[in-house]
Structure 1
Amino acid sequence: MFKPKVAHLFFCCFLISLYYSPICRNIKYGFGYLSSPVTSSDVDSYVKTEGAWILSLQKRQYSVNTVAECSNKCNMETSFTCRSFMYVEKDQECWTAGANTKSDTTVRRSSTVLYEKKAYLLECVNGIGTDYRGTKSKTKTGKTCQGWETLFPHRPNITPRTHPLADLESNFCRNPDGDSGGPWCYTTDSNTRWEHCNVSSCTEECIHCSGENYRGKVSTTQSGFTCQRWDSQKPHNHGYNPSALPEKYLEENYCRNPDGDPKPWCFTTSPSKRWDFCSIPRCTSEPPTIVPELTCATGEGGSYRGTIAVTESGKTCQSWSAQTPHKHNRTPDNYPCKGLDNNYCRNPDNERKPWCYTTDPETRWEYCSVPSCGNAPRPDDPVIPPESEDCYEGNGSSYRGITSETVSGKKCQWWNSMSPHSHQKTEDKFPNADLKRNLCRNPDGDRAPWCYTTDPSVRWEYCSVKKCSSGAPTTQSSVPQDPSIVAQNPFIVSPTPQEPDCKIGKGETYRGPTSITTSGVTCQEWSSQSPHQHNSFTPQSHPDKGLEGNSCRNPDGDVNGPWCYTTDRNKKWEHCQIPDCEENKCGMPVTQPKRCFGRIVGGCVSKPYSWPWQISLRTESKRPAAYKVLLGINTERANEPSKQEKRLEKLVLGPNGADIALLKLESNALICDKVLPACLPEKDYIVPSGTECYVTGWGETQGTGGEGVLKEAGFPVIENKICNRPSYLNGRVKDHEMCAGNIEGGTDSCQGDSGGPLVCYAQNKYVLQGVTSWGLGCANAMKPGVYARVSKFVDWIDRTIKAN
């Protein structure tokens, strides 16, 4: 397969090149052809990432009116090969670039959207790969490719000069001459002039490893069932929400592996079969390479390849290839890329850290004590928040709170992770910035705390943390309509109307009169073209966005809120300072909770009145009239001056024997800073797997301390598919129930907490997602708590309130 290097043969080929001789192709002479890989102006041929900017030396600026015009500029660029463009809608700026995120440094930049040509991001080939623009640079036998512009060790006949459209940059594999064998390169081995490269086919349906990165379109299971769409909850409810788990690429109804199973799977459209594995062959090309960690583990420890073979409690590990004393499917065959050698501790399935099955018949598996690399935090490290309020001073550089959610509700990416966004903001480069876990921080002196997001299409956002100076939400002492119907321990009411000159959320519906920016500059009228010309946002282009006059508005859904073009010639646009509407909101306590999370045995003692929807239900008999409800208390003794004591008028049990009830009070509760409602979830909403939620109560502490005062514990939601595995709760969890807890045990709701609230924090408020129901013991390993799923009872709650 090696190409001849005889000089007189080159001359011969030149003479007959018009006939496209096979001999010519065999020496890679250079008379092949390649059309431009992207000729369409369709923006769909680009990958979009908000808040990203490429630091490319090859860059040109244009003034355009639309993103489509900018994509045309990139497609028609003649100064260099355009691989991406940046578009700034408010400024109507278009920057074409000769680089993308795979080749050059990417940084944060507000209000900028990066568009990258998909052709230059693919690491697979279509057909024979004449359009391949990936970064593979090794041949099938593992030889490193020679640069296309270099002359050593081989003098190339095909160069960037002879094939200007073939993108012959660096030493990346390419197919400039239409070789039927696919992409190739000259090698750095002096004895091998060239070889084909090991680039997989884009159309080949196969999986590497356990298929975690499978992005194909198989949508039928191994038993022949059609897959249910991931964004559907029928016929099966589930917690794998595509919008909440964007990094899992849960598209359409395609088979995927979001939870570390042996291979891709899907929920099925058959009511009798909840989920099933998909039958997808393994790829023959090389799997992704990892850098093995031999003495320590980073993050969850997926790359750990050391020789520790003992669990945290000192038990010897069972060999991965053995089925005694414990039968399992975490075998080397099912997980071929996970280093399941001998009985060494590993993490093949996205657990919190390396683990193993044990040789103790009474203990199926345990985590291992593998040290962390450097000072990097581990996913199961406890989070003990500071005693101060969860707000920031100044620009938030000193913020050390525990918020890990952005203003639009996206989960933050871990600072020590490079996926989905590669970045430079690491703990070693910013040692004083406290870059722990995925907590919101401000390492670079931005205007407020921020984080990289887990959404591949949004690089970063500011966080949902308020300035300390803005104060806590105020409340009114008015009683909302029919507030006397309450859930068993938490209670729920409707909010009061909005104030006029304030914003809700991002302020897209804001129609207030403010017309001055944060720096005090008067806004330019939206219909005016002076001092700043613009066509992107005018009353004509956006007639339903309230662009009359010069008031601040948010016509583009800017996550940082309303803005305007300014009358300052040196500043085209700026955000406006519009306060949040301070109505009597549900799920927004005046005293912010600690939100302690992780392996804190028994949880934490709560800050007084930080969970103001918590009530204590007490009785001396089973008659409703004998029940009394205590609100506004923090201790079991209930001797606080803020205590409200109410008798029950009616008790309504849940439908079909479900473990949930509604209580109607004999008289109205007084809404105040120590007695506030939790929010109801959307109907049928399924909390995504891994969401951090909190349970509170005065229940059994099993000697962990804090007896007699309200305690809190935070832990992740566990998808029912996992919770119902044989080694967990073995199919006991029903669709109208949900699981939450630490798999290794140590923290849980317990006796005396029944009926208590499980709330999840989202969009600056606490939502009642679960009601404590049952469990197998308290805080036992692999036996998480089970909760009534409130979203399944929203219609019943509404009907009951109206009927009573």
Structure 2
Amino acid sequence: FIHKLVLLSVPLSSLLGTFSAVVLDEYAKTEGAWILSLVKREYSVGTVVECAIKCNIETAFTCRSFMYIEKDQECLTIPANGKIESVLRRTSTSLYEKKVYLMECVNGIGMDYRGTKSKTQSGKTCQRWASKQPHKPNMTPSTNPKADLESNFCRNPDGDSQGPWCYTTDPGTRWETCNVQNCSEECMHCSGKNYRGKISTTENGYTCQHWNAQKPHNHGYIPSKYLEENYCRNPDGDPRPWCFTTSPSKRWDFCSIPRCTSEPPRVVEELTCATGDGSAYRGTIGVTASGKACQIWATQMPQQHNRTPDNYPCKGLELNYCRNPDHEKMPWCFTTDPETRWEYCKVPSCGDVPGPDYAAPPPAEEDCYVGNGADYRGMVTETISGKRCQSWSSMIPHSHNKTPQVFPKADLRRNLCRNPDGDRAPWCYTTDPSVRWEICSVDRCPTPPKPTPKPDRHDQPKPEPSQTPSDDNCKVGNGGTYRGPTSMTMLGVTCQRWSAQSPHQHTSFTPESHPDKGMESNNCRNPDNDVNGPWCYTTDRNQKWDYCRIPDCAGLKCGQPVTKPRRCFGRIVGGCVSKPHSWPWQISLRTNTGIHFCGGTLIAPQWVLTAVHCLESSKRPSAYMVVLGTHTDGANEPSKQQRNLEKLILGPGGTDIALLKLESPAIINDYVLPACLPEKDYVVPPGTECYVTGWGETQGTGGEGLLKETGFPVIENKVCNRPAYLNNRVKDHEMCAGNIEGGADSCQGDSGGPLVCHAQNSFVLQGVTSWGLGCANAMKPGVYVRVSKFTDWINSQIKMNSYPSTILP
């Protein structure tokens, strides 16, 4: 009786939540994904858990995955998954794949193996289990209905002690065992790029730090299905798996993992040209793009290195041929010139595709797209919900066929938002393993107003509607409380009434099901708290629903300039002139005589962040002034604001960061606006595109006297501290950014200025320009003070020094 009372005391909601978690834990979820399968079953269900149950009890076929559309309450169970059929893009669809069918290793003798290996240990292709040619099988789908014999995948239907096997397509060999790795076997192929074991101790005995942890070591690697728990992994092309450690004194260490005795996966070799980053190139070019001879990979003269055939056994490091063993942009080699450690090689691209990214011409200035954005060539690399875009040439985390080779005219460079397939707007695959793709955060270009005929003198012209958002036509956060009158999607389509069932039928979101969500008419609403904001069903029969563009109630916000930046991927040294006032937080730090010598960043109306080394000439505030709101070094624009300094506050512990308090606050307007500060201890993920601006030295390449900009990727400190790069000079409170091949960097006169990165539709100040070895030199990226390490210090100093200013005699 007591036992029953205890059981009944558990809330029903808790039991249902636990049940739902258990059911869905069998599946790997991917948002925005769809598998086109001829064989499928359709159901109308109220929840995703009900759909999972339908898949679990499916009798028409072996259900390996299901797709669920919440806004339609539509459930489709299918026998395929992403390892069998291609995964496509589809709005608002979630793909759930059974994890057991995604595993590529065996437990015991592998009777439960459901992976996709279809070659034997000697490399012979497997015969389909339902086929009778060339061998008449004893094991068939009909005789063994529970053994999953639906294709030609290796299976173990008869409990063979040697593990999974198959009939072969070789008439001379009836059957053969498949070489499937054991799930408990801790070994790696090649450099361990695909290692998925559970070793979590380094070769020196350190325990690994969890990938989703930032203590004791901050890092920029994004946890995923691959970077899970605290297991040793190799995400950056090192010789073998490694991990960050739990010891504060040892940031990271290699793991000791034995090599597998089975054959490594085979590479389809490219002998005359290179696809993507050229990792499969096995040709015989042995000179760099500048004509320098390549050094033999197995030698250590004149360059000492660890890119040896022993460390990288599967990368084709023969003789001195150009290769790409470590995720570089394209094939490269060490050179025989003692003064040039390494260079890229000029390997032809396979097919009619664009050249390498760094050689591409600067894109046109585009802030918006026209039509469906098929011709959009702007620089946005972020989705509508703030996710970073995956590179088009990459297959991680999402494999796809939207590559530069397949769409040579779509300008699929780097991870820029594009529309190669004629979708409704520019989009990209995301770097979030659980979200396959999203529409990008790009505005549609405004339609030019139609000319209004001159009114008759007896007519009173109609007053124009106000273009200023009122309190009832703007949103707070994701717009869950929005009750404004907008009833049109971002693409200009009129919304369907929430109570209507035509042209689109729906039951999930109606005035009856959500009586407190303001759904009485056809106004845009957010009844399901969609992170992307208010939406509606549309009156377009071909587009069931879409998001609405609702302005944010906050008005001018940090990091959101009125004039959108060009976001140029050139360089300050020799580079791109910015659009006037597109970086409105950029200030010019000057002597009291008006001579520019350093940069800085406005972070609050009365506060500027800069570098300590910019203040070496004097520690007196009266020695300096700050100029804001200008585009030219001459600073003669009407938008100019000039402020004297009240206080200099140097960073803690001798670090190269300083706060400047202005004598009076700056006026925030279209020309002067603060940049946003980052979250405490946030580490920018490697590869994130960030931007540096300044009036610094251009080394005679033009554009002097105008604000210039450049964009380049962040480099993880672990990589930046390699001996070939900055050789452990970079500290934890600093960060690296730049192109490894050189050509883009800040320089003298840019010191103290901003390094900003775009996130959640705002520019966030992640770095203060600090130091570097020369300007734009190969393998010597710039070093910046990591602002996220100082957010507590910045906030405390501003709070402590925000008393009313007093003018001393």
Structure 1 residues 568 and 190: CA distance shift in structure 2, 3 A: closer
Match of 1:579 among 551, 562, 575: 551
User: Which position in structure 2 is the counterpart of 1:189?
Assistant: 170
Match of 1:220 among 192, 198, 201: 201
User: Which position in structure 1 is the counterpart of 2:17?
Assistant: none
User: Which position in structure 2 is the counterpart of 1:744?
Assistant: 741
User: Which position in structure 1 is the counterpart of 2:70?
Assistant: 89
Tell me, in whole angstroms, the C-alpha distance in 2 between the residues paired with 1:680 and 1:82. 48
Q: Which string of whole-angstrom CA distances, capped at 9 and with x for unpartnered residues, describes residues 184-241 of structure 1?
A: 1112222222111111112212111111122222111111101111222211222223
User: Which position in structure 1 is the counterpart of 2:535?
Assistant: 563
User: Which position in structure 2 is the counterpart of 1:45?
Assistant: 26
Tell me, in whole angstroms, the C-alpha distance in 1 between the residues paired with 2:744 and 2:663. 36
Match of 1:68 among 25, 44, 49: 49
Match of 1:597 among 551, 563, 569: 569
Match of 1:293 among 267, 270, 274: 270
User: Which position in structure 2 is the counterpart of 1:796?
Assistant: 793
CA drift at 1:282:
1.4
Contact 2:487–2:494 (CA under 8 A) maintained in structure 1: yes
**Equivalent runs, 1:650-729 vs 2, <5 Å:** 650-729=647-726
Does residue 520 of structure 1 match 2:520?
A: no
User: Which position in structure 2 is the counterpart of 1:534?
Assistant: 507
Does residue 468 of structure 1 match 2:471?
A: no
Q: Which string of whole-angstrom CA distances, capped at 9 and with x for unpartnered residues, describes residues 147-185 of structure 1?
A: 212222221111111111112122221111111111111
Q: Which amino acid aligns with 1:64?
A: V
Does residue 112 of structure 1 match 2:93?
A: yes
Contact 1:381–1:599 (CA under 8 A) maintained in structure 2: no
Q: Which amino acid aligns with 1:199?
A: V
Contact 1:43–1:68 (CA under 8 A) maintained in structure 2: yes
**Equivalent runs, 1:269-348 vs 2, <5 Å:** 269-348=246-325
Does residue 765 of structure 1 match 2:736?
A: no
Structure 1 residues 129 and 598: CA distance shift in structure 2, 3 A: farther
Aligned length: 733
User: Which position in structure 2 is the counterpart of 1:474?
Assistant: none
Identity between Structure 1 and Structure 2 (%): 72
**Equivalent runs, 1:146-157 vs 2, <5 Å:** 146-157=127-138
Tell me, in whole angstroms, the C-alpha distance in 2 between the residues paired with 1:267 and 1:48. 27
Structure 1 residues 385 and 502: CA distance shift in structure 2, 3 A: farther
Structure 1 residues 432 and 327: CA distance shift in structure 2, 3 A: closer
User: Which position in structure 2 is the counterpart of 1:128?
Assistant: 109
Match of 2:221 among 232, 240, 245: 240
CA drift at 1:667:
1.9
Contact 1:91–1:534 (CA under 8 A) maintained in structure 2: yes
Contact 1:396–1:448 (CA under 8 A) maintained in structure 2: yes
Tell me, in whole angstroms, the C-alpha distance in 2 between the residues paired with 1:309 and 1:226. 42
CA drift at 1:632:
1.3
Match of 1:439 among 377, 400, 416: 416
CA drift at 1:579:
3.4
User: Which position in structure 2 is the counterpart of 1:13?
Assistant: none
Contact 2:573–2:775 (CA under 8 A) maintained in structure 1: no
User: Which position in structure 1 is the counterpart of 2:330?
Assistant: 353
CA drift at 1:512:
2.3
Contact 1:89–1:536 (CA under 8 A) maintained in structure 2: no
Contact 2:186–2:258 (CA under 8 A) maintained in structure 1: yes
Unmatched segments (≥5 aa) in structure 1 = 1-39, 472-496
Tell me, in whole angstroms, the C-alpha distance in 2 between the residues paired with 1:433 and 1:354. 24
Match of 1:103 among 66, 76, 84: 84
Tell me, in whole angstroms, the C-alpha distance in 1 between the residues paired with 2:54 and 2:376. 42
User: Which position in structure 1 is the counterpart of 2:124?
Assistant: 143
CA drift at 1:595:
1.2
CA drift at 1:415:
3.0
Q: Which amino acid aligns with 2:498?
A: Q
Tell me, in whole angstroms, the C-alpha distance in 2 between the residues paired with 1:625 and 1:775. 29
Contact 1:524–1:530 (CA under 8 A) maintained in structure 2: no
3-state SS in 1 of match to 2:791:
helix
Q: Which amino acid aligns with 2:178?
A: C
Structure 1 residues 572 and 335: CA distance shift in structure 2, 3 A: closer
Structure 1 residues 531 and 670: CA distance shift in structure 2, 3 A: closer
**Equivalent runs, 1:410-421 vs 2, <5 Å:** 410-421=387-398
CA drift at 1:93:
0.9
Contact 1:539–1:547 (CA under 8 A) maintained in structure 2: no
3-state SS in 1 of match to 2:798:
helix
Does residue 166 of structure 1 match 2:152?
A: no
Tell me, in whole angstroms, the C-alpha distance in 1 between the residues paired with 2:143 and 2:668. 78
Contact 2:334–2:342 (CA under 8 A) maintained in structure 1: yes
TM-score with structure 1 length normalisation?
0.86
User: Which position in structure 1 is the counterpart of 2:452?
Assistant: none
Contact 1:771–1:788 (CA under 8 A) maintained in structure 2: yes
User: Which position in structure 1 is the counterpart of 2:432?
Assistant: 455
Structure 1 residues 391 and 530: CA distance shift in structure 2, 3 A: closer
Structure 1 residues 521 and 300: CA distance shift in structure 2, 3 A: closer
User: Which position in structure 2 is the counterpart of 1:391?
Assistant: 368
Structure 1 residues 296 and 503: CA distance shift in structure 2, 3 A: farther
Tell me, in whole angstroms, the C-alpha distance in 2 between the residues paired with 1:700 and 1:337. 44
User: Which position in structure 2 is the counterpart of 1:28?
Assistant: none
Structure 1 residues 536 and 130: CA distance shift in structure 2, 3 A: farther
Does residue 755 of structure 1 match 2:736?
A: no
Does residue 511 of structure 1 match 2:482?
A: yes
Contact 2:167–2:176 (CA under 8 A) maintained in structure 1: yes
Contact 1:539–1:546 (CA under 8 A) maintained in structure 2: no
Tell me, in whole angstroms, the C-alpha distance in 2 between the residues paired with 1:686 and 1:297. 33
3-state SS in 1 of match to 2:683:
coil
Structure 1 residues 571 and 376: CA distance shift in structure 2, 3 A: closer
Match of 1:381 among 333, 337, 358: 358
User: Which position in structure 2 is the counterpart of 1:36?
Assistant: none
Tell me, in whole angstroms, the C-alpha distance in 1 between the residues paired with 2:682 and 2:119. 47
Q: Which amino acid aligns with 2:588?
A: S
Tell me, in whole angstroms, the C-alpha distance in 1 between the residues paired with 2:570 and 2:577. 14
Structure 1 residues 732 and 417: CA distance shift in structure 2, 3 A: closer
3-state SS in 2 of match to 1:615:
strand
Q: What do you get for the CA RMSD once the two structures are aligned?
A: 2.9
User: Which position in structure 1 is the counterpart of 2:18?
Assistant: none
Does residue 642 of structure 1 match 2:623?
A: no
Structure 1 residues 575 and 645: CA distance shift in structure 2, 3 A: closer
Tell me, in whole angstroms, the C-alpha distance in 2 between the residues paired with 1:368 and 1:435. 22
3-state SS in 1 of match to 2:736:
strand
3-state SS in 1 of match to 2:788:
helix
User: Which position in structure 1 is the counterpart of 2:560?
Assistant: 588
Contact 2:712–2:739 (CA under 8 A) maintained in structure 1: yes
CA drift at 1:447:
2.2
Structure 1 residues 462 and 529: CA distance shift in structure 2, 3 A: closer
Unmatched segments (≥5 aa) in structure 2 = 1-20, 449-468, 593-616, 802-809
User: Which position in structure 2 is the counterpart of 1:554?
Assistant: 526
Structure 1 residues 136 and 498: CA distance shift in structure 2, 3 A: farther
3-state SS in 1 of match to 2:751:
coil
Structure 1 residues 327 and 577: CA distance shift in structure 2, 3 A: closer
Tell me, in whole angstroms, the C-alpha distance in 2 between the residues paired with 1:341 and 1:285. 22
